[in-house]
Amino acid sequence: MITPEFEYTAPRSLDKAIRDLSGGGEDAKLLAGGHSLIPLMKLRLAAPTLLVDLRNVPGLHGIQRENGHWRIGAMTHHTELERTTELGLAAQAAGTIADRQVRNRGTIGGSLAHGDPASDLPAVMLAYGAEVTVQGQSGQRRVAAADLFQNYMETDLAPDEVLTEVRLPALDGYGFGYEKFSRRSEDWAMVAVSALVRAEGGQCADVRVGLTNMGSVPLRASAVEEALRGRPLDAASIAAAAEQAAEGTDPPADLNASEDYKRHLARVLTKRALETAAGMGGA
């Protein structure tokens, strides 16, 4: 399928990109890797009349560690995340996205701004407690990942705002596990679970669990976290906590999985991800 006709700009500064985006009104869209937007345009599910390509905007690429945080430019490709193994969970999850071609083009900023609850990175960012920096005509602001995802493919970003950077706490000393279940390798997740665990003297000092494709937005498995935090970090406590994984979720049924099957997957994958994060080697 061929996309509808559109105008195209590739500005060389962030200010110009924001001006172009605002000038285009509701029919203007930013273009990053194009691996979500262009397919939607080809299917005629989106028909922007202006695409503002971020490829030439300086300062939006790269990964740097600074004061206990990772700063990741919005135009950083999934492949770069995957290769930065010091990132831990985020690198592992990025390496499960689709195939090499998609990972070489798709960006972290595009993935978060798109707000698809079936994407891998949004729930990972929730688990980290990440925040994003956005810039628009009225200035710059920071948005916590917990406030970014508002509804199915709806985010807190205003139409004239560009997501410029993602800030991840480094979470040194945390173990991590990522479990993604798909019908075929390289498919989107039927369900995926991200887990981060910090152990202290055999107890669970902190735990963060993110759920992918278990509702209209990515979710934190708060009931699991409450059940495990402060408990001995052993197989029995993990198994008991993982039983809470589907609490408060509303997973969409699809061709591959019923709601009940997704709830079952959430419990099984949470147990495996927590076991790996706790150094038990997974199931």
Given the rule CB under 6 A, which residues bind ligand FAD? 29-37, 39, 54, 74, 97-98, 102, 106-107, 109-111, 113-114, 119-121, 157, 162-163, 188
Are 36 and 116 contacting, i.e. CB atoms less than 8 angstroms apart?
yes
CB 201 → ligand FAD: shortest distance, Å?
36
CB 95 → ligand FAD: shortest distance, Å?
11
Query: How many other β-carbons are positioned within 10 Å of the β-carbon of residue 243?
Result: 15
At a CB cut-off of 8 Å and minimum separation 6, what does 187 contact?
none
Q: What is the DSSP string of 120-186?
A: HHHHHHHHHT-EEEEEETTEEEEEEHHHHEEETTEES--TT-EEEEEEEE--TT-EEEEEEE-SSTT
Nearer to ligand FAD, 6 or 206 (CB): 6
Q: How far is CA 197 from CA 89, 179, 228, in A?
A: 11, 14, 10
CB 57 → ligand FAD: shortest distance, Å?
9
Nearer to ligand FAD, 120 or 131 (CB): 120
Nearest to 167 by CA among 87, 281, 249: 87
CB 53 → ligand FAD: shortest distance, Å?
9
Are 218 and 192 contacting, i.e. CB atoms less than 8 angstroms apart?
no
Are 89 and 129 contacting, i.e. CB atoms less than 8 angstroms apart?
no
Nearest to 17 by CA among 46, 45, 59: 59
Nearer to ligand FAD, 150 or 279 (CB): 150
CB 218 → ligand FAD: shortest distance, Å?
10
Query: How many other β-carbons are positioned within 10 Å of the β-carbon of residue 137?
Result: 12
> Could you tell me the end-to-end alpha-carbon distance of the chain, in angstroms, rounded to an integer?
43
Nearer to ligand FAD, 37 or 221 (CB): 37
CB 107 → ligand FAD: shortest distance, Å?
3
Q: What is the C-alpha to C-alpha distance for residues 131 and 151, in angstroms, rounded to an integer?
A: 18
Are 159 and 168 contacting, i.e. CB atoms less than 8 angstroms apart?
no
CB 20 → ligand FAD: shortest distance, Å?
12
CB 280 → ligand FAD: shortest distance, Å?
26
Nearer to ligand FAD, 97 or 221 (CB): 97
